[in-house]
Amino acid sequence: MRFKLWRRRLTISAPRMAVRSAMPWPIRWAMAAIVLGFCAAIALWAFELGKDIAGLDTGAKEELVRLRADMAKMREERDKAQSILNTSASLITTEKAAQERLTAQIKQLEAENRALRDDLGFFEKLIPSSGAEGVAIRGLQAEVMAGGQLKWQVLVIQPVKNAPEFRGKIELSLSGTMGGKPWTMPVAGSPLQVRQYRRVEGMVDIPPTAIVKNVSAKVLDGTATKAVQTITL
């Protein structure tokens, strides 16, 4: 019986055996990690050594330095361009404001010029007619405005030197047609005081259907008429 058991152990039919290590698995993992880390360090050292031998690292550093210098130069040029742009924008704004002020001054001067031409034409009529004495009317003007109003102005003068002050009134009279029929409208007089000359002007409301054809102005001293002038529109 013992012989049979001994023979079974030595033959193929003998039972399988397993050899197990007595080292715990955490220690085995730690040792494997150490080995892998050591291998990685050796590989990195070999890579760096290869770069130094081939001269690649030196060229990369020089290229990096050059690129940094180019970037600094580009930033400086950008700052200069931005400064020039800001200055140009400020100059354009200033020039635009000056141009607007100049345009406004030109318009004002044109308006003053028109007013001076009107005054010149008006005061040219101050020149009295030869032999004229006492109060006279010069430069009666009238214009029908929008809104049913008539604008008028007249220059009253005394063409003699050191004339005494005249005190009276000035009256206006309008004539024309309304509804196809003759039409007249007197305008209430206003007080007038003049020593050498005086310009009088005003606005008169006229009926919507009236057509003004003639405007007459007269200077009164009490009930006596001193001067009359009539114009046709």
Q: What is the pLDDT of residues 183-220, one digit of tens each?
A: 898 888 888 888 888 888 888 888 888 888 999 999 98
Give the pLDDT band (50/70/90) at residue 60: low
Give the pLDDT band (50/70/90) at residue 53: low
Task: Residue 204: give the domain boundaries.
Answer: 131-232
Report yes or no: 141 and 201 within 8 Å, Cβ to Cβ: no
CA-closest candidate to residue 196, choices 233, 228, 165, 169:
165
Does the pLDDT at position 126 exceed 80? no
Taking CA atoms, 3 is separated from 7, 12, 16, 174, in Å, by 6, 16, 20, 165
In a domain, 153, yes or no: yes
Lowest-pLDDT choice from 7-11, 32-36, 96-100: 7-11
pTM: 0.43
Give the pLDDT band (50/70/90) at residue 130: very low
In a domain, 14, yes or no: no
CA-closest candidate to residue 211, choices 186, 174, 169:
174
In a domain, 166, yes or no: yes
Average pLDDT over residues 226-231: 88
In a domain, 116, yes or no: no
Dist CA 148 CA 209 (whole Å): 9
In a domain, 213, yes or no: yes
Domain count, the chain: 1
Q: DSSP 3-state helix, strand, coil percentages of the chain (rounded to 5)?
A: 45, 35, 20
In a domain, 81, yes or no: no
Phi-psi region of 54 (alpha: psi -120 to 50; beta: other; left: phi over 0): alpha
Whichever domain contains 225, its CATH number is: 2.60.40.3230
In a domain, 45, yes or no: no
Does the pLDDT at position 171 exceed 50? yes
What percent of the chain is predicted at pLDDT more than 70? 74
